[in-house]
């Protein structure tokens, strides 16, 4: 078969000593960039671009792509160990990953995440090899109208993030949407709620907000406790039990599919993928109430999804020349700087480069796994640092990270403010995840809604003209109506005093 011959040729290119070394360096650097909060994959890749001028196109692209998926894994490490998301896509992993670390199961969480990332990345690469054509045609079906419907479906899943109280979850969802309104209006360009601060024109920075809500709030809460209690449980094991593995199989498979499919749609970020994978796990679990207390599925699902997304998002780059995210735009820049235009003619005109790079995705995912499994033992040593010292280090780390997002102290202030907000919300038992979900999806929803209405010149009928949109919107309606129905039915049947169970 043609595909296999090409793939074999690709491997012969990817497995040369030089390209292997580049994939290794990329994965390692990516992991480190992932660990540093604030410095995202796009900035990391852009910093490497001048270094790649002297390399051949294949080597340059292998270096940048392996860096890209390295970051997807690195972000997990700080989420699990410190409750500080190193990358936006790993924010949701904090919920169960950090809870696992508190129980002494940080090593298990990281191992499962590494294996999930490997499988997710490999799954998406296989999709690229065997189904790029049909998948691309599917992705092209997603114009602003379908995109809007998809985002509405995502936001409707908010109900799946509710903890004890649906009302509190909805309040936090609206809070997130309100935060998403800050900044320049995406269509007409008028500033909203910016108080004449130029720093607010692009909206509130997402990374500083999640670092504050998750990381800083946790430290503030811990500071209340007597010093002796502020010790994380010692590591008991690195190796997942048979039960852990059984609990991860489903989430890893679902995460692979969710991440790969959403990765195909340009404009959807991989944080959206990891959030939706988390919600999917919670919705399909028999014990949804135990999410947030250290469920393996809550780590496996989203961590698989964000790597599958990272690799899946390369499909439109290869087939259409469309960069689906800022990082991929950098990778596309690397292609173009070497005189290669990604897109429909890529495989025809630059067969060797294209297949060499694809083969390197497999190789890179293997390297990442080999690199990370032994490193887990080293990372978890961080937890041996006395908490009083560690929280100082974490705070320094977060300030650095917030600053490096936009080289601006304003973001440090935003992070601090949201640390306090997050602390207060935790005290009053409000869930934090819905804020993050709507903060991610809100701007996407607004933009696609207004683009759709510009296409139809103001008619809402356009949302009924697309079968895909109709299906997605109906699903969203179902997600909203069913819990509401259950809520009222249960409320009728319960006795006063059962408040906790009802709400």
For the CA atoms of the chain, what is the radius of gyration? 22
Q: Which of 105, 309, 350, 447 binds other proteins (CB under 8 A)?
A: 447
Assess contact for 24 and 371: CB atoms under 8 A.
yes
Residue nearer to other proteins on the CB measure, 277 or 332: 332
Three-class SS state of 192: strand
Q: Does 345 bind other proteins (CB under 8 A)?
A: yes
Q: Other C-beta atoms within 10 Å of 241: how many?
A: 12
Kindly write down the DSSP assignment for every residue of 36-65, as one continuous string: SSS--HHHHHHHHHHHHTTS-HHHHHHHHH
Minimum distance between the CB of residue 132 and other proteins, rounded to whole angstroms? 15
Site for other proteins in 365-384 (CB under 8 A): none
Assess contact for 483 and 169: CB atoms under 8 A.
no
Specify the stretch interacting with other proteins by CB under 8 A; choose among 86-94, 159-167, 404-412, 471-479. Answer: 404-412
Beta bridge pairs of residue 440? none
Specify the stretch interacting with other proteins by CB under 8 A; choose among 71-79, 108-116, 188-196, 227-235. Answer: 188-196
Specify the stretch interacting with other proteins by CB under 8 A; choose among 40-48, 278-286, 390-398, 470-478. Answer: 40-48
191-192/183-184 β-pairing:
antiparallel
Q: Does 337 bind other proteins (CB under 8 A)?
A: yes
Beta bridge pairs of residue 183? 192
Q: Does 338 bind other proteins (CB under 8 A)?
A: yes
Q: Does 322 bind other proteins (CB under 8 A)?
A: yes
Distance CA 327, CA 317 (A): 11
Minimum distance between the CB of residue 471 and other proteins, rounded to whole angstroms? 17
Q: Does 198 bind other proteins (CB under 8 A)?
A: yes
Q: Does 53 bind other proteins (CB under 8 A)?
A: yes
Kindly write down the DSSP assignment for every residue of 263-275, as one continuous string: HHSTT--HHHHHH
Q: Does 312 bind other proteins (CB under 8 A)?
A: no
Assess contact for 92 and 223: CB atoms under 8 A.
no
Minimum distance between the CB of residue 364 and other proteins, rounded to whole angstroms? 20
Q: Which of 226, 407, 428, 495 binds other proteins (CB under 8 A)?
A: 407
Site for other proteins in 158-187 (CB under 8 A): 184, 186-187
Locate all alpha helices (DSSP H) within 338-432, ordered by sequence: 346-349, 351-379, 387-406, 409-427
Minimum distance between the CB of residue 81 and other proteins, rounded to whole angstroms? 27
Distance CA 300, CA 297 (A): 5
Q: Does 406 bind other proteins (CB under 8 A)?
A: yes
Residue 421, both tokens: 């907000």
Q: Does 3 bind other proteins (CB under 8 A)?
A: no
Residue 229, both tokens: 């209690």
Q: What are the Cα distances from residue 369, in Å, to 28, 47, 70, 170, 310?
A: 11, 25, 10, 39, 16
Minimum distance between the CB of residue 152 and other proteins, rounded to whole angstroms? 18
Residue nearer to other proteins on the CB measure, 103 or 451: 451
Beta bridge pairs of residue 192? 183
Minimum distance between the CB of residue 60 and other proteins, rounded to whole angstroms? 12
Q: Other C-beta atoms within 10 Å of 239: how many?
A: 9
Three-class SS state of 249: helix
Q: Does 103 bind other proteins (CB under 8 A)?
A: no
Q: Of 100, 99, 76, which Cα lies nearest the Cα of 87?
A: 76
Q: Does 199 bind other proteins (CB under 8 A)?
A: yes
Minimum distance between the CB of residue 461 and other proteins, rounded to whole angstroms? 15
Residue 386, both tokens: 């006395």
Kindly write down the DSSP assignment for every residue of 336-350, as one continuous string: HHTT---STTHHHH-
Three-class SS state of 184: strand
Kindly write down the DSSP assignment for every residue of 117-172, as one continuous string: HHHHHHHHHHHHHHHHHHHHHHHHT--HHHHHHHHHHHHHGGGGG--S-HHHHHHH
Residue nearer to other proteins on the CB measure, 282 or 447: 447
Which residues, other chains included, contact 389 with Cβ-Cβ below 8 Å and sequence gap of 6+?
Answer: none
Residue nearer to other proteins on the CB measure, 208 or 434: 208
Q: Does 329 bind other proteins (CB under 8 A)?
A: yes
Q: Does 49 bind other proteins (CB under 8 A)?
A: yes
Q: Does 324 bind other proteins (CB under 8 A)?
A: yes
Q: Does 139 bind other proteins (CB under 8 A)?
A: yes
Residue nearer to other proteins on the CB measure, 199 or 502: 199
Site for other proteins in 255-284 (CB under 8 A): 266-267
Residue nearer to other proteins on the CB measure, 202 or 224: 202
Q: Exposure of 197 by Cβ count < 10 A (0-12 exposed, 13-18 middle, 19+ buried)?
A: exposed
Q: Which of 26, 86, 292, 316 binds other proteins (CB under 8 A)?
A: 316
Specify the stretch interacting with other proteins by CB under 8 A; choose among 118-126, 335-343, 353-361, 377-385. Answer: 335-343
Q: Does 323 bind other proteins (CB under 8 A)?
A: yes
Site for other proteins in 454-483 (CB under 8 A): 454-455, 457
Q: Which of 25, 55, 126, 140 binds other proteins (CB under 8 A)?
A: 140
Using CB under 8 A, list all residues that contact other proteins. 42-43, 45-47, 49-50, 53, 139-145, 184, 186-191, 196, 198-199, 201-202, 266-267, 316, 320-324, 326-327, 329-330, 333, 336-339, 341-346, 406-408, 447, 450-451, 454-455, 457
């Amino acid at each position: 078969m043609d595909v296999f011959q090409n793939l074999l040729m690709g491997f012969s290119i990817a497995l040369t000593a030089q390209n292997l070394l580049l994939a290794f360096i990329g994965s390692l650097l990516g992991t480190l960039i992932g660990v540093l909060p604030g410095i995202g994959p796009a900035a990391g890749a852009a910093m490497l671009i001048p270094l790649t001028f002297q390399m051949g196109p294949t080597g340059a692209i292998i270096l940048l792509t392996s860096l890209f998926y390295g970051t997807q894994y690195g972000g997990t490490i700080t989420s699990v160990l410190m409750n500080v998301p190193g990358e936006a896509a790993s924010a949701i992993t904090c919920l169960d990953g950090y809870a696992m670390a508190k129980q002494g199961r940080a090593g298990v969480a990281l191992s499962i995440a590494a294996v999930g990332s490997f499988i997710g990345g490999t799954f998406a690469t296989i999709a690229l090899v065997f189904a790029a054509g049909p998948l691309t045609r599917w992705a092209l079906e997603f114009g602003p109208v379908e995109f809007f419907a998809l985002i509405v479906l995502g936001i409707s899943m908010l109900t799946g993030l509710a903890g004890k109280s649906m009302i509190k979850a909805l309040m936090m969802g609206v809070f997130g949407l309100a935060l998403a309104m800050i900044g320049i209006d995406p269509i007409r360009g008028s500033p909203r709620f910016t108080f004449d601060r130029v720093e607010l024109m692009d909206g509130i920075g997402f990374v500083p907000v999640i670092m504050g809500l998750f990381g800083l709030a946790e430290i503030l809460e811990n500071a209340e406790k007597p010093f002796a209690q502020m010790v994380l449980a010692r590591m008991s094991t690195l190796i997942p039990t048979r039960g852990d593995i059984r609990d991860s199989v489903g989430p890893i498979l679902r995460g692979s599919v969710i991440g790969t499919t959403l990765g195909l749609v340009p404009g959807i970020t991989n944080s959206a993928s990891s959030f939706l994978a988390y919600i999917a796990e919670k919705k399909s679990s028999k014990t949804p109430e135990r999410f947030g207390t250290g469920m393996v599925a809550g780590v496996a699902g989203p961590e698989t999804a964000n790597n599958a997304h990272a690799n899946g998002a390369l499909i439109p780059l290869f087939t259409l020349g469309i960069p689906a995210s800022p990082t991929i735009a950098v990778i596309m820049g690397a292609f173009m700087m070497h005189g290669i235009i990604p897109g429909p003619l890529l495989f025809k005109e630059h067969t060797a480069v294209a297949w060499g790079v694809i083969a390197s995705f497999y190789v890179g995912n293997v390297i990442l796994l080999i690199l990370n499994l032994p490193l887990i033992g080293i990372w978890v040593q961080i937890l041996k640092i006395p908490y009083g010292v560690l929280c100082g280090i974490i705070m320094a780390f977060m300030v650095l990270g917030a600053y490096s997002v936009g080289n601006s102290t304003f973001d440090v202030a935003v992070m601090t403010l949201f640390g306090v907000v997050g602390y207060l919300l935790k005290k009053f038992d409000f869930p934090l995840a819905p804020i993050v979900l709507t903060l991610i999806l809100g701007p996407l929803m607004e933009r696609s809604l207004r683009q759709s209405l510009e296409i139809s010149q103001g008619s809402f009928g356009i949302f009924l003209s697309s079968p895909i949109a109709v299906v997605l919107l109906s699903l969203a309606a179902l997600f909203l109506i069913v819990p509401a129905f259950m809520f009222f039915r249960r409320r009728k049947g319960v006795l006063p005093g059962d408040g906790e169970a009802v709400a």
